[in-house]
């Protein structure tokens, strides 16, 4: 691929490409192939295969008056495609494409001049052109201009595309103009466009992820009052955002409303609510919520059962933990790595050596491969009881030469935190993981040396 910038000509020497009089030594994009020779006077000739982007060339003409003055009749897409013509040859879709490219290149002024020239030719502006120019302004923060174009679109016979409306709301939301997001969705609803439901759902998401719960609630209630059916995606999004930014009472109210609507709470909302309960250390209420969701739900895998086990393990209710684990097996669920590590963390913190070894044997029987969390439970438990000399015997039964990985659900760490070996190993892997090949055995060896040195320093003082 040839780039004219890569071969700068000597000062005062202008390059030429074959017989192409439109070539300029400026960097641009390319789209169709063209064979040619780059010639410099008194210098070398370089054969090349170039790909010219006609639209980008046109943009250069619009933005650089020294190359091609913008008079509405020169440098049009029809000529570049091999035809002779002017701006009147461009259709609505062609102009919209040019405006989008101008927007991507940060040229809203050039887009405005192009539209002015098209209008000067007496051509009617189509919905695609107006929409592209509106989004070009919105993306560059020119919201007064984009608002004027939006009003022109909705007050005409045009019906904007759903993607255009969603992108406009995204631009408003990204700039913190949440009132404009609500106004756009109300204007869409008042004109009964066919994508009202999508606009409402997107507005709920835009407002919710920004923490604007009052405005999100107002739009959500308006959605119901307008007779728009609330789907599972929107209902679960409301619950998720209340769990992220609201209180537990508000979250539970939103969940109760979702239940009354006969909509199932989905995986993402379950995780978000569980995180809120765990952060507030409300493990009993977490267990009640999970039983209400249903322990027999199979479309979310082991998530509900794992969180229920976590609610007991975090409070070190070992008998209840074992009882619910057996019920999980009786219900036909197969324990995964997170299931085993929840129990392993509880056993490790309680120094229950025999139970932890039985759990690791069970993992091996189920074909579940331990991760860094599992090894950390063993190391922390043995070192905590000053039994580090027994670690080689324990690790000989495990594949300690494999690459270290962390595959446990992060929600577990929010309840338990990370063990000392786990945290130290992650810091070591992040600092020089690319420069050295690590394994569990090497990490454990490094950690034991670190502990030995720290003990020596302590006793020396």
Give domain limits for the chain. 335-461
Q: What is the mean pLDDT of residues 54-68?
A: 40
Token pair recorded at residue 330: 């009786």
The Cα–Cα gap between 113 and 318 comes to 73
Token pair recorded at residue 395: 């690790």
What are the residues whose beta carbons fall under 8 Å from the beta carbon of 264, sequence distance 6 or more?
232
What are the residues whose beta carbons fall under 8 Å from the beta carbon of 324, sequence distance 6 or more?
305, 308, 309, 312
Whether residue 5 is predicted with pLDDT greater than 60 in this model: the reply is no
Q: What is the pLDDT of residues 171-204, one digit of tens each?
A: 999 999 999 999 999 999 999 899 999 999 999 9
The tokens 């190391």 sit on which residue? 379
Token pair recorded at residue 450: 């670190």
Token pair recorded at residue 138: 């919105």
Higher per-residue confidence, 6 vs 409: 409
Which pairs with CB-CB distance under 8 Å and at least 24 residues apart come from 243-246?
243/269, 243/272, 243/273, 243/275, 243/276, 244/211, 244/272, 244/276, 245/208, 245/211, 245/213, 246/213
The Cα–Cα gap between 100 and 96 comes to 6
Q: Contact, 131 vs 103, CB < 8 A?
A: no
Q: What is the mean pLDDT of residues 216-244?
A: 95
The tokens 């923490």 sit on which residue? 211
Q: What is the pLDDT of residues 314-348, one digit of tens each?
A: 999 999 999 999 999 999 999 999 999 999 999 99
Least confident of 106-110, 255-259, 413-417: 106-110
What's the helix, strand, coil split of the chain in %, to 5?
A: 60, 5, 35
Q: What is the pLDDT of residues 202-227, one digit of tens each?
A: 999 999 999 999 999 999 999 999 98
Whether residue 125 is predicted with pLDDT greater than 80 in this model: the reply is no
Whether residue 90 is predicted with pLDDT greater than 70 in this model: the reply is no
The Cα–Cα gap between 390 and 371 comes to 20
Whether residue 416 is predicted with pLDDT greater than 70 in this model: the reply is yes
CB atoms within 10 A of CB 432: 9
The Cα–Cα gap between 285 and 247 comes to 14
The Cα–Cα gap between 150 and 132 comes to 11
The Cα–Cα gap between 270 and 211 comes to 19
Q: What is the mean pLDDT of the chain?
A: 81
**Which residues pair with residue 46 across a beta bridge?**
38
Whether residue 16 is predicted with pLDDT greater than 60 in this model: the reply is no
The closest of 105, 86, 81, 76 to 32, measured between CA atoms, is 81
Helices (H) and strands (E) in the chain, counts: 23, 3
Full DSSP string of 186-249: HHHHHTT-TTHHHHHHHHHHHHHHTT-HHHHHHHHHHHHHTTPPP-HHHHHHHHHHHHHHS-HH
- Note the pLDDT of residue 442: 92
- Note the pLDDT of residue 86: 52
**Percent of the chain scoring above 70 in pLDDT:** 77
Q: Contact, 105 vs 62, CB < 8 A?
A: no
Helix 54-63, helix 108-120: angle, nearest 10:
90
The closest of 325, 244, 252, 322 to 289, measured between CA atoms, is 252
- Note the pLDDT of residue 43: 41
Q: Contact, 164 vs 135, CB < 8 A?
A: yes
The Cα–Cα gap between 209 and 109 comes to 32
Radius of gyration over alpha carbons of the chain, in Å?
Answer: 32
Any idea what the Cα angle at residue 82 is, between residues 78 and 84, rounded to 5°?
55
Higher per-residue confidence, 90 vs 252: 252
Whether residue 451 is predicted with pLDDT greater than 60 in this model: the reply is yes
The Cα–Cα gap between 293 and 300 comes to 11
Q: Contact, 421 vs 375, CB < 8 A?
A: yes
Q: 95 vs 19, 77, 103, 364, CA distance in Å? A: 29, 9, 12, 64
């Amino acid at each position: 691929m040839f780039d004219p910038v890569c071969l700068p000509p000597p000062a005062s020497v202008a390059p030429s490409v074959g017989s192409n009089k439109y070539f300029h030594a400026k960097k641009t994009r390319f789209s169709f192939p063209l064979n040619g020779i780059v010639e410099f006077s008194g210098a070398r000739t370089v054969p090349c295969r170039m790909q010219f982007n006609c639209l980008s060339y046109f943009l250069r003409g619009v933005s650089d008056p020294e190359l091609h003055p913008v008079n509405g009749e020169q440098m049009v897409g029809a000529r570049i495609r091999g035809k002779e013509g002017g701006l009147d040859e461009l259709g609505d879709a062609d102009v919209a494409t040019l405006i989008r490219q101008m927007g991507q290149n940060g040229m809203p002024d050039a887009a405005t001049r192009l539209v002015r020239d098209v209008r000067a030719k007496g051509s009617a502006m189509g919905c695609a052109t107006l929409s592209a120019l509106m989004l070009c302004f919105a993306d560059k923060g020119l919201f007064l201009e984009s608002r004027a174009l939006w009003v022109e679109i909705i007050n005409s016979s045009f019906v904007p595309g759903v993607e255009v409306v969603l992108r406009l709301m995204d631009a408003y939301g990204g700039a913190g103009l949440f009132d404009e997001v609500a106004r756009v969705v109300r204007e869409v609803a008042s004109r009964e466009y066919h994508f009202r439901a999508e606009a409402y759902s997107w507005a709920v998401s835009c407002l919710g992820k920004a923490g604007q719960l009052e405005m999100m609630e107002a739009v959500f209630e308006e959605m119901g009052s307008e007779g728009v059916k609330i789907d599972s995606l929107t209902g679960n999004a409301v619950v998720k955002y209340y769990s992220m930014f609201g209180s537990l009472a508000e979250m539970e109210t939103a969940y109760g409303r979702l239940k009354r609507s006969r909509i199932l709470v989905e995986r993402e909302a379950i995780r978000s609510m569980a995180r809120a309960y765990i952060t507030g250390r409300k493990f009993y209420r977490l267990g009640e919520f999970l039983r209400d969701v249903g322990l027999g739900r199979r479309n979310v895998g082991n998530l509900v059962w794992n969180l229920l086990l976590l609610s007991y393990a975090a409070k070190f209710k070992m008998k209840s933990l074992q009882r619910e684990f057996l019920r999980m097996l009786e219900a036909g669920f197969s324990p995964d790595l997170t299931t085993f590590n929840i129990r392993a963390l509880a056993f490790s913190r309680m120094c229950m050596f025999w139970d932890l070894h039985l759990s690791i044997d069970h993992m091996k029987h189920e074909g579940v491969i331990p991760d860094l969390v599992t090894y950390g439970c063993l190391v922390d438990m043995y070192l905590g009881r000053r039994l580090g000399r027994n670690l080689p015997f324990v690790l000989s039964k495990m594949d300690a030469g494999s690459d270290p990985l962390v595959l446990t659900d992060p929600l577990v760490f929010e309840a338990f935190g990370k063990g000392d070996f786990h945290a130290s190993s992650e810091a070591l892997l992040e600092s020089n993981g690319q420069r050295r090949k690590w394994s569990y055995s090497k990490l454990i060896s490094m950690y034991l040396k670190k502990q030995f040195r720290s003990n020596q320093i302590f006793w020396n003082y």
